[in-house]
Amino acid sequence: MVSKRILVTGGAGFLGSHLCERLLRSGCHVLCMDSFLTGSHANVASFLAHRNFALITHDIAQPLPAGMEVDEIYNLACPASPPHYQADPLHTVKTSVYGAIHLLELAQRCGARILQASTSEVYGDPEVSPQTEAYWGHVNPLGPRACYDEGKRCAETLFFDFHRRHGVAIKVARIFNTYGPRMQPDDGRVVSNFIVQALRGDSLTVYGDGSQTRSFCYVDDLIEGLLALMASPLEVTGPINLGNPTELSMCELADRVLTLTGACTAVDFRPLPQDDPRQRRPDITRAKHVLGWEPTVPLSVGLEKTVDYFRQLLSATSTTSVDGVVQVMREEGAS
C-alpha cells in the first residue's frame, strides 16, 4: 500500500505537532505547514530527520504553494489562546477565513478529505450546558474574542458551503479545552498558566471568583478523536464535539495544580475578562455513537504528565540562562 500524503497546517503548534508525530508512527507521509507565528521549531525538531516528514514555512492566509498533491488535510492553523489571537485580531480572522478558502480549494482540486479544527468557542458564553452540536451559541460578534470566535464560525460556514456546492469531503471537529506537553509557558491558557506559576513560586492568577468552569481533555485523547473523525464514513461531516465532559471550576483546578507541584503559593483573584465564558462542558454523545470515541486519560494522570513536562522545560531554560551568563562573564573577563 502507498501511504497517505497528509498536510497538517499549524503542524508545529501544540496540537499539530502531536498529530504529526502520531501520523508518522502510522506510516503516513506528513507535510507540516506552519507560519511559526505561535508554533515552535522545537516541537518538530525531532521529526526533521524522518524520511516521511517535510516542513514548509508558510502562512495559510496567503495563497498556498503551487503543485501540492495531498490525500488528507488537517487544518489546525490559528492562534488558539486569547493573548495570541488578540495580539493581531485582523490576522486571526484572515487565518480562519482566507486559510479555510485556500485549503478547501486545495482539497477540491486534489479530491482530498479535509478536517477543520473548530472550537468550543463557537458556542461563546453558552446559555445551555452541556453544549450539544445543535446549539447555535451565544457569541458577542463585537467583543475582543470575536476575531477567534467568529473567524472559526465563518470557517465552519465555508466548509459546509464547499461541501454542498462542490462535494468536498469535509470533517468539522469542535475542540474543547485541551492540555498536555508542548504547550507554551506563556500561551495564556489556564492549565499552563497555573503550572508555570506554581513551579516558579508565583501566585496563581484566577479571573473572576474562580467559579467558572472548563472541561479539560488530555492531548493524546484529543488526537485519537481527530483521527477517528477523519477516518469516519464520508457522510459523517460533523460538527462533532471532542473534549472531556468532566467539569471543573478554576478554583478546583488551582487546588489540584498546587497539590501536584507541592507549591505553597497564594491565589491572586483578578477581574474577569470581557466575554469570558462562565461554563464550558461538551456533550460528546455524538462522538461516542458515531466515532466510538471518548477520552480515557484521567485528569490526575494528564496533569501529572504536564507538570513533569513544564518542570523539565523550566529547568532546562534556567540552566541555559545560567550557562549564558557564565559564558558572558568569561568573555568579559578574557577581554
Q: Hey, which residues are catalytic here?
A: 148
Angle at 40 between CA 119 and CA 19, to 5 degrees: 50
Closest CA to 277 of 172, 129, 147: 129
Distance CA 250, CA 261 (A): 16
Take residue 257 and report the three cell numbers written for it: 495544580
Closest CA to 13 of 37, 31, 29: 37
Distance CA 158, CA 31 (A): 23
The radius of gyration of the chain from alpha carbons, rounded to an integer in Å, stands at: 20
Q: 51 and 72 in contact (C-beta within 8 Å)?
A: no
Q: What's the farthest any 2 CA atoms get from each other in the chain?
A: 71
